[in-house]
Structure 1
């Protein structure tokens, strides 16, 4: 499965504990990443400063569902079950 351009759920729903440019302490769950632009695209995609956890994310129907809204719900649910 390919990522849906403009979805951004993986940049909003999960917490990220590693530093991100503009967010030196990472980000809490449910907070937009500082590197997510107005079109929900990563401004540092493919750049070395992009956190490894982001670069290693693979779109999957179980995580992303079939819509952007479903992806946000699924990732939020996964995040809450791992806290």
Structure 2
């Protein structure tokens, strides 16, 4: 599955424990990454500053469902279940 353009759920729902430029202590679950644009695209997608965990994420129908709302809900559930 390819990422849905403008989804950004993976930049909101999960926590990120590693440092991100502008978020030195990482990102809490449910909070927008500071690099997520208004159109829900990653502003540092092609940058070497992008955290490794972000680059390793692969969209999957089981994680992302059929819409951005599904992805927020499913990734949020996974975050809570694995915290």
TM class by shorter-chain length?
over 0.9
Unaligned runs of 5+ in 2: none
**What's the secondary structure of 2:78's corresponding residue?**
helix
Q: Which runs of 5+ in 1 are unaligned?
A: none
In structure 2, what is the equivalent of residue 42 of structure 1? 42
What's 1:33 paired with?
A: 33
Residue 14 of structure 1: CA displacement?
0.2
What TM-score results when the alignment is normalised by the length of structure 1? 0.98
> 1: CA distance between counterparts of 2:20 and 2:63?
22
The answer to whether the aligner puts 1:75 opposite 2:71 as a matched pair is no
For 1:55 and 1:4, locate their aligned partners in 2 and report how far apart those are by CA, in whole Å. 15
The count of corresponding residues between Structure 1 and Structure 2 is 83
For the aligned residue pairs, the C-alpha RMSD in angstroms reads: 0.4
The structure 1 segments of at least 4 consecutive aligned residues displaced by more than 2 Å after TM superposition are none
